[in-house]
Amino acid sequence: MARSKLNALVRSLTLAASVGAPCLAAAADLMLPPPPPPPPPPIEVGGGWYLRGDVGASIYTRPRYSDAYDYTGYAESNRAFGNAVGGGGFAGVGVGYQFTPFLRGDITGEYRYSTGLRGSEYYKGPDFDNGLGSYGVNKSSGNFDSAVVLANAYFDLGTWYGITPFIGGGVGYAFNHVSSYSTNQQFTSPTYAYDYTNAGCGCIPYAPVYDPNGNPVYNTNSGSKFYKDKTGGSFAWALHAGLAYNVTDALKIELAYRYLNLGKAETGPGFVPCCTGSLQAIKIKDIEAHDVKIGLRYYLGGFVAAPLPPLMPEPIPGPLVRKY
């Protein structure tokens, strides 16, 4: 009896295996579809390129003037000079590139103006009778402006709380323009007169004139020179230091100091209205400026172009069936 039950159980298991095996084989032949291909990488526009703009104010140090406006040949010990370039402002634009997180460079162009050129020479003249001396004053004035092109390199020293200190330097060329330049001379000396009262002896040698109070009477002679306008080129160089603040990833604002050496400038030939001869030009040397400026940098990178959609939608792939 037990033997017959065991045989019946074996036959049931065999029948179930023979019926389910084809289904398991068919399920094994069904495979999941492959994953869709990854989207194309985004296209970066601009890279590390940036545009910049700057405005600022300038204070100029005292330049050196040539002696061309000196009407006399007195020794240097008898002369004193007071030359200046008036303060002014500037505005400029540029384009640059961020090479690494710490190194960038740009090329800038700017226009500069000042309140003008001023020069003066005070000198002691010869002594006259009775110990009376003489003196002279030469004063000059004119307009000064400049266009400057610089190639600059900067080192960014790291960023803390959105603020990046930086230092840098630049070299370039300055087109310095001098216009409406003129000089005026005033020479003051004792007044002399001749005494013709004694006709028998002829004229008495001239002597200084005194007023009723016994004070010497001085006489002042004056004259002017004028110079033609001229634009001249000169090597220029600069040193930078400042702070940049990250307004956004693409926009930076700068507050910076710059030392700028503009080289030299000169006038055109001079002339005196009553004469036809040409006078030597006046040269202005060692033109140096201390600038404080505010600038903006706008980076063209950081924007991406989305990939184009397909022309026709792709069909969803169905299950793959392995065939033998």
Place of tokens 């690494």: 100
- d(Cα 183, Cα 231) in Å, to the nearest integer? 19
Mean per-residue pLDDT of the chain: 80
Which runs of E-coded beta strand occur in the chain? Answer: 30-31, 43-45, 49-60, 64-65, 79-81, 84-85, 88-98, 103-114, 117-124, 135-156, 163-190, 192-195, 204-208, 218-227, 230-246, 251-266, 270-271, 283-299, 303-305, 320-321
Give the confidence band of 32 by pLDDT, cuts at 50, 70, 90: low
Q: Is the pLDDT of residue 305 over 50?
A: no
User: Which of these ranges, 33-47, 207-221, 272-286, has the smallest mean pLDDT?
Assistant: 33-47
CA atoms within 13 A on the CB side of 69: 37
Residue pLDDT, tens place only, 256-265: 999 999 999 9
Identify the bridge partners of residue 123 per DSSP, sorted by sequence position.
Answer: 79, 136
Question: pTM for the complete prediction?
Answer: 0.71
pLDDT at res. 123: 78
Q: Would you call 277 helix, strand, or coil by DSSP?
A: coil
What would the pLDDT profile of 218-257 be if each residue is shown by its tens digit? 888 888 889 999 999 999 999 999 999 999 989 999 999 9
The span from the CA of 143 to the CA of 242, in Å, is: 30
Residues 69-89: tens digit of each pLDDT:
555 556 655 566 677 888 999
